[in-house]
Amino acid sequence: MMTIIPRGTRRLLDILIFSLISFSLLSRAAGASDLGIIENADLYKNLSQWVLLDTRPKAEWLSGHIPGALSFSWEDYTKTEGKEIQYSIKPPQDLANGLGKMGISENTPLVVYADDDKSWGAEGWGGWVLAWLGHKAPVRLLAGGIRSWKDKKLPLTLGTEKLIRTPGQYSYRLDAWANISTAEIAKQGKSLTLIDTRSSLEWITGRIPGAVHIEWTKFYAGAERRPLSAEALKKLLRDNDADLQRPVVYYCAAGVRSGLAWCVHQLAGLSPARNYAGGWEAWKKDSSK
């Protein structure tokens, strides 16, 4: 006997199936990058197995960096679009070209590091950029960053150094889930959990409607400022009324500090989050929202 399903019920089933498939695809895409933490001792013993990216400002890199580390500062990969969006990230092809010129491909194992706060969470920005570009090889954030490396009296190189690296091609395939546009937030805002990671002063002078405020400095702990554990992060989010049943979107002024929060979220193994790279600068300038 053929079972006849009412039209309304069929419609609901179609929506449910589509939603489940979409969620599965997004989860796989957002979780595709191999992101983790590496300890100083492990890196020091295996330096030759990794290429290091120092995401601090170039001047900080020149004043002392881990031997062999290449400078990859967010300051060199953002731009001001005239009177429009301040500090907007350069196109993916520009990022890929920069990596390729340094002899890095999408299959190069990378360690990203920065400092405590002069870089505004730049190591997280670096981790997010690589995930957004669809980096295929492992990406590790250095535990404790350059401060921990220095504290352990490990070697540093001053100024530039001659490294034999053959320029090549970095082939990227954007992970659309890692980033989110102003238009998407304007359309989906009520169904998202928006987390503003800027300072309290920035927060009170203007914010995206419906956002909750958790400053980026709350996403790490301890003298070495290590990323929060999964339980500590969940508590932080719960204590600030951040609903984890909805897709989480982190933002700051232009995606750097929120990139750190995004990385901590990913490392904690929570449901995939998104980083609004345009941030408050894009939101307040976009007249189409």
With a cut of 50, say whether residue 1 has pLDDT above it.
Answer: no
- For 35-151, CATH gives 3.40.250.10
Q: pLDDT per residue over 151-176, tens digit each? A: 999 999 999 988 888 999 999 999 99
- Tell me the mean pLDDT in the region 36-59: 96
Q: pLDDT per residue over 25-43, tens digit each? A: 343 344 447 999 999 999 9
Q: How confident is the model at residue 288 (pLDDT cuts 50, 70, 90)?
A: low
Q: What are the residue ranges spanned by the domains of the chain?
A: 35-151, 182-285
With a cut of 60, say whether residue 53 has pLDDT above it.
Answer: yes
With a cut of 60, say whether residue 66 has pLDDT above it.
Answer: yes
- CA torsion sign for 24, 27, 33, 36 is negative
With a cut of 90, say whether residue 12 has pLDDT above it.
Answer: no
35-151 and 182-285 share one fold? yes
- CA torsion sign for 236, 239, 243, 248 is negative
- Within 42-165, strands assigned E span 51-54, 70-71, 78-79, 88-89, 110-113, 139-142
At residue 83, the pLDDT reads: 62
The answer to whether 227 and 236 are in contact (CB under 8 A) is no
Name the average pLDDT for the chain: 88
CA dist 6 → 11, 13, 18, 146, 173 (Å): 9, 11, 18, 63, 42
CATH says 182-285 is which class? alpha beta
At residue 13, the pLDDT reads: 42
At residue 78, the pLDDT reads: 86
At residue 25, the pLDDT reads: 37
Q: pLDDT per residue over 96-140, tens digit each? A: 999 999 999 999 999 999 997 778 899 999 999 999 999 999 999
Relative to beta strand 248-251, strand 274-275 is parallel
Relative to beta strand 212-213, strand 193-196 is parallel
At residue 135, the pLDDT reads: 98
At residue 231, the pLDDT reads: 97
Calpha distance 103→46 (Å, rounded)? 19
Give the DSSP per-residue string, 14-78. Answer: HHHHHHHHHHHHHHHHHT-S-EEEE-HHHHHHTGGG-EEEE-S-HHHHHT-B-TTPEE--GGGSE
With a cut of 80, say whether residue 4 has pLDDT above it.
Answer: no
Beta bridge partners of 38: 142
- Tell me the mean pLDDT in the region 15-23: 37
With a cut of 70, say whether residue 14 has pLDDT above it.
Answer: no
Q: pLDDT per residue over 178-198, tens digit each? A: 999 999 999 998 899 999 999
Percent of the chain's residues with pLDDT above 70: 86
Overall size of the chain counted in residues? 289
At residue 65, the pLDDT reads: 97
With a cut of 80, say whether residue 257 has pLDDT above it.
Answer: yes
At residue 119, the pLDDT reads: 85
